[in-house]
Amino acid sequence: MTQSTSSTRTRAPHQWLALTIGAVYLVVGAAGFLVTGFDGFAEHDHDQTLLGFAINPLHNIVHLLIGLLGLTMWSVPGRARVFGWLLVAGYGATFVFGLIAVNNPDINILNINAADNVLHILSVLVGLAIALWPHRNADTTSPGSHRS
């Protein structure tokens, strides 16, 4: 009798990292609304910060969406890698946008400050780690295999 591989499969490190990042962004997005409320949806106001990171309700929603993506994609190795690539692309673009927007309130709809830019480039690096984490050797993960 064989068991379902989904119930006995060990999660890979990149999957746990995707889950962790998803959970952190979800919590940060929710906590952001405690600071900003729902007013000033896309306002540029560096006085509204969470742990030194400028936020507004639109920025909070982006964090919630990233968090939800991580929580829904982490459980399958390939989807976790796709989540990593989404972090790379999304936060890479946001980092470039932030370099321009941080000094231009007219276009800074996400209320990005310098601390956000640092976090965004770190999110790109974490995304790369998730996406490029080495694959496990099939010999060590297949049911019935044994190590010598």
pLDDT tens digits for range 43-69: 887 788 899 899 999 999 999 999 999
Q: Is residue 81 part of a domain?
A: yes
Q: Is residue 102 part of a domain?
A: yes
Write out the residue range of the structural domain in which residue 70 sits: 12-37+51-134
The interaxial angle of helices 13-36 and 57-73, nearest 10 deg, is: 160
Q: Is residue 140 part of a domain?
A: no
The tokens for 140 are: 């060590």
- Is 80 exceeded by the pLDDT of residue 146? no
Mean pLDDT of 82-95: 97
Considering its fold, how many domains does the chain have in total? Answer: 1
Q: Is residue 97 part of a domain?
A: yes
Q: Is residue 43 part of a domain?
A: no
Q: Is residue 69 part of a domain?
A: yes
The share of the chain scoring above pLDDT 70, in percent, equals: 86
Q: Is residue 127 part of a domain?
A: yes
The share of the chain scoring above pLDDT 90, in percent, equals: 72
pTM of the model: 0.82
Q: How confident is the model at residue 82 (pLDDT cuts 50, 70, 90)?
A: very high
Q: Which of 141-144's residues contact partners 24+ apart within 8 Å by CB, and which partners?
A: 141/9, 141/10, 143/2, 143/3, 143/5, 143/8
Q: Is residue 148 part of a domain?
A: no
